Amino acid sequence: MPELKIGRLRARYKRFFADIDTDAFDTVETITAHCPNGGKILGLLDPGTPALYADVDSPTAKLRYRLEALKQGDTWAGINTQRPNKLVPLAIAAGLIPELSGYGQVRPEVRYGVNSRIDLLATGHAGHPDTYIEIKNCHLSRTPGLAEFPDCEAARSTKHMYELAATVKAGFRAVVVICVQRDDVDRFDAARDCDPDFGRAYDTARAAGVEIVAVSFGISRLGWRFHKALEIV
């Protein structure tokens, strides 16, 4: 994708809109960008926060620009909840997530559970049954080195945890990949105080055999790069 542009957040409003001040045209100009994240985006929304945004340049897009990342300290944190669905399959294909290597086919958006779609279904592994892979975007870090999910009430993710637990009970393998869009962390845990229901579902799923894998990606104006696997707390 083209190099990301840099500006400063003026305000995020109506959940999916963000005004960004940019000096890309030698004079300060305020643009409105799509904010592809309906959550609280805790810790990142102060006015004046450095922002990375993309020029979508698509005739079908309602807004020309899309907010991709906001800066916390010295680190860019990716807020686009759809970005992980592109990053994780690439990382799997490149062998960067060993827990998910060796499958003959990985298909996106396969129906399962109660009116749900799994992000990826991996099949054709001699050592594993069909594997249901759910991908979650994570940007939150309130303690140095610790990434957390979610940052708000996450009813849909809670539902997914219980459905994945049922999938394991039915004889399949289930893996949740936490895609952390920041490279200043080395471990991951559920943010139980942000959503106690999710915390309970997360613990229930792990006890049922759902595997949790967390990987981080660094972000710059040039794009995303795989950073490392994180310890699961």
Block means of pLDDT (10 residues each) for the chain, 233 residues, are 90 95 76 95 95 89 94 97 97 96 94 85 94 97 97 95 96 98 98 97 98 98 97 96
pTM > 0.75: yes or no: yes
Q: Supply the pLDDT for residue 111.
A: 87
Q: What domains appear along the chain, each with residue ranges and CATH number?
A: 5-75 (2.40.50.580), 84-232 (3.40.1350.60)
**With b meaning 16 or more CB within 10 Å and e meaning fewer, what string describes 209-218?**
ebbbbbbbbb
Q: Are 220 and 76 in contact (CB under 8 A)?
A: yes
State the DSSP H helix or E strand holding residue 51, giving kind and residue range, or none if neither: strand 50-55
Q: Are 230 and 186 in contact (CB under 8 A)?
A: yes
Q: Are 178 and 138 in contact (CB under 8 A)?
A: yes
Q: Supply the pLDDT for residue 115.
A: 75
Residue 12 region by backbone torsions, left for phi larger than 0, else alpha for psi between -120 and 50, else beta: beta
Checking DSSP bridges between strand 173-180 and strand 131-138, what pairing results, if any? parallel
Q: Supply the pLDDT for residue 113.
A: 74
Q: Supply the pLDDT for residue 24.
A: 60
3-state helix, strand, coil in the chain (%, to 5): 20, 45, 35
Checking DSSP bridges between strand 223-232 and strand 185-190, what pairing results, if any? parallel
Q: Supply the pLDDT for residue 79.
A: 97
